[in-house]
Amino acid sequence: MNPLNHVAIIMDGNGRWGLKRYNSRNRGHRAGLDTIEKIVRTSIDHNIKFLTLFAFSTENWKRPKSEINYLFDLLENFLKIKLNQFHKNNIKLKIIGQRKFSKKLNKLLSNSEKVTNRNTGLQLNIALNYGSRIEIINSIKKINKKKLSVTEDNINKNLYTKNIPDPDILIRTGKTRRLSNFLLWQLSYTEIFFSNKLWPDFNERNYTDIIKKYRNIKRNFGEV
């Protein structure tokens, strides 16, 4: 049985779900929050150490302003309401991505990380304004600035994900089969699962089925 430390998820399909049911993409994003809660709980049940959720990409700024504002309001309220509960559940929050938000949001993000920093349970990484290519470029720039050599180890140490093991599983919901500039470096040996379910419809059972399948895969890491 394969050990399972880190699950990364591209939570795709909120917009389509909301449009289909309520003629509103934003309703889909709101419904997506319930799935996040289910998946966090199930991750804890499975003793998973790291869960990384792709919440907003560097490319998502191209969306209509009203949707962007809605998403950030949602995130803000989510953090405000859930922080205590996360803390009680020993969850450590970490934001990965370029921190270029309003002063208010930056403060809320830093405070959420600070409050939960010493927690030893699940580490919940939220990828916000995250893009993998820029992450890799910045890592190499930092290495050059420190006059170090460009090695695999040094690149790892200068990514947002330093000190986080590479994902064992990547899940993308929503029928689409692409990586969308998410953790390109870190996913080199990750087992990838695509689900046809839209994110608000994805549930504990679907998640547990993927975990079960993963446990029995023969992982070679390039060997035979």
Which residues form the catalytic set?
A: 12, 60
Strands (E), the chain: 6-10, 50-57, 92-96, 123-130, 169-172, 191-194
Minimum CB distance to ligand FPP, residue 101 (Å)? 13
List all residues 6 or more positions away from 116 whose beta carbon is below 8 Å from its beta carbon: 83, 86, 87, 91, 92, 93
Q: Which two tokens stand for residue 162?
A: 């330093």
The torsion angle over the Cα atoms of residues 207, 213, 216 and 217, rounded to 10 degrees, is -110
**Residue 166 DSSP code:** P
| Secondary structure of 110-154 as H, E, C letters | HHHHHHHCCCCCCEEEEEEEECHHHHHHHHHHHHHHCCCCCCHHH
Give the residue with the Cβ less far from ligand FPP, 97 or 158. Answer: 97
Nearer to ligand FPP, 66 or 151 (CB): 66
Nearer to ligand FPP, 182 or 214 (CB): 182
What tokens does 186 get? 């870190």
Q: How far is the CB of 106 from ligand FPP (least distance, A)?
A: 16
Q: What residues line the site for ligand FPP (CB under 6 A)? A: 11-16, 29, 32-33, 36, 53, 55, 60, 71, 74-75, 78, 126, 174
Q: How far is the CB of 140 from ligand FPP (least distance, A)?
A: 27
Of 144 and 196, the one with the shorter C-beta distance to ligand FPP is: 196
Q: How far is the CB of 11 from ligand FPP (least distance, A)?
A: 5
